[in-house]
């Protein structure tokens, strides 16, 4: 069927776009072989293709590359509902989001499907314990949301987005009311840098001066992540001291496989970043030429893994001593890039808003729910305005938009009220970040506004895509408020002529609407569209096209909705 082959091009969002759930690996620092799952409310399990209720404690174990669930061995277990996970040495946690449990490399892997705002709240709780003034919590919520959006699929090759440790963003599932409020009051807001989500790094304490992102991650540059003085942090930040023995340092270096002279007895800072933090250390043997250079970040991580992450709290320090004892006297906690939590809290105490805090820590970054700061140019046609970043894209798309709108009007007999606008994004990433749609969705239409992926990506499919989107625009603008989503979407596919479906998938109208709105994965959306298309095609066959248009404008009767289950089969 053409519908199956082309569906990824023709999905248009009729409601506010949301990012798909983040796939987060829970308990990522543990080597799990068994866990206990206890229901804390209504819970359903999906295994062996069947759904059942969980009413008692359930133990899940690894067994020969699969998992044993009670007396059954399966490849994967899906859990939906509030549960408590416990067992062995793991920290017991209450989880309220869907879970997927499987065996990977002889260990259990627990993946949680976190909606964006739920994930932001869990990370905000984990990173702050909720112990910050409200405006500072709100600022950090925006930073966390931006960071998560920018670095989604960080663990793509492992088939999840983030882990739950500080390697990604540390999270806690027991979220306080203060954290929930901060997240809800900044819902959907991100920081933007020239149309892309800002990699909004943050840290505990800058010591009075933040760091340039390029000094820590040389492949990154942003005017919003440059080193600058932080008088707010300086007022309250405290220095720290770490006294370490040569033997324990040597052991940590060896464990991290950092090569230094065997008989080193001196450590000297030989290079610094623009902010004054140590960039390179030299390990020397007396006054001889036996010496080796180690990056300061590698050194700090080596000590952290061996002796605890608070051994050296940052790279901003002086090192003194020699022989068998070394004293590190420093300032700040963390890498120093982006938002300083200590400074943000002080700003909030002084009456600054979360927008003030963000503007101070990320100078020049824009705040908004959709992409900000895109350098658009506009080309106006007879009935359509085309906005693009690249003039060549605008010139290429404009003629196609006028032809597509004329085709859609002639095909449907519906008229467009007002002017239409088409935004052409220069990259798939920018399209996805602006619309909240997954990458396999090529266009998004709301009202008289169409947003599409780059023409170079769409290729020869550009014309048919625009025809479909304008048809969607006309159907939506003529539909009575409250007309079911399955009927509106089915009408678009029926009128486009792309659908050749004659048999509906076994889905109720509520299941169709839920699948299209959730957009959890491509296949479930395809299936929902097949079902919606088949229902409308069957209704057209029984009642005729004129009746379909009357239902579109005036509302579809409930008895027809219920009866469509039989008509579509």
Q: What is the CATH number of the domain that holds 457?
A: 3.30.2010.30
Residues 390 and 467 in one domain: yes
Where a domain ends, among 462, 478, 494? 478
DSSP secondary structure, 249-265, as one string: HHHHHHHTT----TT--
Paired with 377 in beta bridges are 388
Reduced to 3 states (helix: H, G, I; strand: E, B; else coil), residue 194 is coil
Put the strands of the sheet holding 190-193 in their side by side order: 196-197, 190-193, 366-368
The pLDDT value given to residue 13: 40
Exposed/middle/buried for 282, CB within 10 Å: 0-12, 13-18, 19+?
middle
The pLDDT value given to residue 561: 73
Residues 485 and 522 in one domain: yes
Task: Establish if 15 belongs to a structural domain.
Answer: no
Where a domain ends, among 330, 359, 384? 330
Residues in the chain: 569
DSSP secondary structure, 341-403, as one string: HHHHHHHHHTT--HHHHHHHHSTT-EEESS------EEEE-SSEEEEESSHHHHHHHHHHHHH
Q: How far apart are CA 542 and CA 188, in angstroms?
A: 44
Helical ranges in 256-315 per DSSP H? 296-307
Ramachandran angles phi, psi of 433, nearest 5°: -70, -30
The pLDDT value given to residue 558: 83
Task: Establish if 17 belongs to a structural domain.
Answer: no
DSSP secondary structure, 103-157, as one string: EETTEEEEEEEE-HHHHHHHHHHHHHTT-S-HHHHHHHHHHHHHHHHHTTTTTGG
Residues 397 and 457 in one domain: yes
Residue with tokens 């824009």: 366
Where a domain ends, among 463, 478, 493? 478
Exposed/middle/buried for 388, CB within 10 Å: 0-12, 13-18, 19+?
buried
Q: Count of domains in the chain?
A: 5
Say if residues 442 and 7 touch (Cβ distance below 8 Å): no
Residues 62 and 93 in one domain: yes
Angle at alpha carbon of residue 263, lines to 259 and 266, rounded to 5°: 85
The pLDDT value given to residue 505: 59
Paired with 153 in beta bridges are none
Residues 133 and 279 in one domain: no
The pLDDT value given to residue 499: 54
Residues 400 and 350 in one domain: no
Cα dihedral 442, 144, 123, 297, rounded to 10, equals 110
Exposed/middle/buried for 82, CB within 10 Å: 0-12, 13-18, 19+?
middle
Angle at alpha carbon of residue 195, lines to 517 and 337, rounded to 5°: 105
Distance set, CA 146 to CA 241, 306, 373 (Å): 34, 32, 15
The pLDDT value given to residue 569: 47
Residues 127 and 224 in one domain: yes
Farthest CA pair distance, the chain: 95
The pLDDT value given to residue 567: 47
Task: Establish if 16 belongs to a structural domain.
Answer: no
Task: Establish if 10 belongs to a structural domain.
Answer: no
Task: Establish if 446 belongs to a structural domain.
Answer: yes
Residues 209 and 344 in one domain: yes
Say if residues 409 and 415 touch (Cβ distance below 8 Å): yes
Domain that holds residue 34: 22-114
Query: 242-264 burial by CB neighbour count: b if 16+ within 10 A, else e?
Result: bebebeebeebbeebebebeeeb
CB atoms within 10 A of CB 212: 20
pTM of the complete model beyond 0.85? no
With CA atoms as reference, report the closest residue to 344 among 122, 140, 146.
140
The pLDDT value given to residue 47: 85
Residues 536 and 462 in one domain: no
Angle at alpha carbon of residue 193, lines to 200 and 275, rounded to 5°: 55
Residues 160 and 184 in one domain: yes
Task: Establish if 5 belongs to a structural domain.
Answer: no
Residues 260 and 346 in one domain: no
Task: Establish if 13 belongs to a structural domain.
Answer: no
Task: Establish if 362 belongs to a structural domain.
Answer: yes
The pLDDT value given to residue 78: 94
Distance set, CA 33 to CA 62, 102, 211 (Å): 5, 11, 41
With CA atoms as reference, report the closest residue to 477 among 4, 119, 12.
12
Residues 391 and 309 in one domain: no
Positions in the chain whose pLDDT score sits under 70: 1-18, 498-506, 520, 562-569
């Amino acid at each position: 069927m053409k519908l199956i082959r082309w569906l990824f091009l023709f999905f248009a969002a009729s409601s506010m776009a949301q990012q798909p759930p983040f796939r987060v690996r829970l308990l990522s620092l543990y080597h799990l072989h068994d866990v206990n799952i206890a229901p804390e409310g209504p819970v359903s399990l999906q295994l062996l293709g069947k759904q059942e209720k969980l009413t008692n404690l359930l133990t899940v174990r690894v067994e020969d590359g699969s998992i044993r669930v009670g007396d059954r061995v399966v490849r994967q277990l899906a859990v939906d509902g509030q549960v408590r996970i416990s067992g062995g040495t793991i920290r017991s946690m209450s989880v309220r989001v869907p879970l997927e449990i499987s065996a990977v490399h002889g260990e259990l892997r627990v993946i949680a499907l976190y909606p964006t705002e739920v994930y932001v709240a869990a990370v905000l709780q984990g990173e702050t314990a909720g112990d910050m003034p409200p405006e500072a919590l709100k600022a950090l919520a925006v930073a966390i949301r931006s960071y998560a959006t920018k670095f989604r699929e960080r663990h793509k090759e492992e088939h999840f987005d983030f882990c739950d440790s500080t390697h990604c963003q540390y999270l806690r599932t027991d979220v306080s009311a203060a954290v929930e409020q901060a997240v809800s009051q900044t819902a959907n807001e991100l920081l933007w840098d020239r149309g892309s989500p800002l990699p909004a790094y943050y840290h505990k304490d800058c010591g009075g001066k933040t760091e340039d992102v390029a000094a820590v991650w040389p492949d990154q540059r942003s005017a919003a992540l440059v080193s600058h003085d932080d008088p707010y942090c300086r007022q309250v930040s405290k220095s720290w001291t770490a006294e370490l023995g040569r033997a324990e340092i040597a052991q940590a270096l060896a464990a991290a496989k950092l090569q230094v002279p065997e008989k080193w007895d001196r450590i000297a800072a030989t290079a610094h970043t623009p902010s004054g933090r140590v960039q390179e250390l030299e390990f020397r043997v007396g006054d001889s030429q036996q010496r080796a250079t180690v990056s300061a970040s590698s050194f700090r991580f080596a000590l952290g893994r061996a002796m605890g992450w608070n051994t050296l709290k940052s790279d901003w320090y002086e090192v003194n001593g020699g022989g068998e004892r070394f004293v590190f006297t420093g300032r700040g906690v963390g890498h120093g890039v982006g938002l300083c939590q200590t400074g943000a809290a002080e700003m909030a105490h002084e009456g600054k808003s979360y927008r003030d805090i963000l503007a101070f820590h990320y100078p020049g970054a824009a705040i908004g729910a959709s992409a900000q700061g895109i350098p658009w140019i506009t080309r106006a046609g007879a009935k359509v305005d085309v906005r693009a970043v690249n003039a060549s894209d605008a010139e290429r798309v404009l003629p196609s938009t006028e032809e597509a709108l004329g085709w859609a009007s002639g095909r449907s007999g519906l008229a467009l009220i007002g002017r239409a606008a088409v935004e052409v994004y220069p990259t798939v990433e920018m399209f996805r970040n602006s619309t909240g749609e997954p990458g396999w969705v090529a266009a998004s239409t709301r009202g008289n506004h169409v947003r599409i992926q780059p023409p170079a990506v769409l290729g020869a499919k550009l014309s048919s895509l625009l025809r479909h989107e304008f048809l969607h625009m006309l159907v939506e603008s003529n539909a009575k408020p409250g007309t079911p989503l399955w009927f509106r979407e089915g009408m678009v596919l029926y009128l486009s002529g792309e659908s050749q479906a004659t048999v509906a998938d076994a889905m109720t109208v509520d299941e169709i609407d839920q699948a299209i709105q959730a957009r959890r994965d491509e296949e479930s959306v395809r299936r929902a569209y097949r079902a919606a298309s088949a229902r409308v095609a069957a209704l057209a066959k029984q009642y005729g096209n004129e009746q379909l248009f009357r239902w579109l404008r005036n509302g579809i009767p409930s008895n027809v909705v219920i009866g469509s289950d039989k008509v579509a089969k």
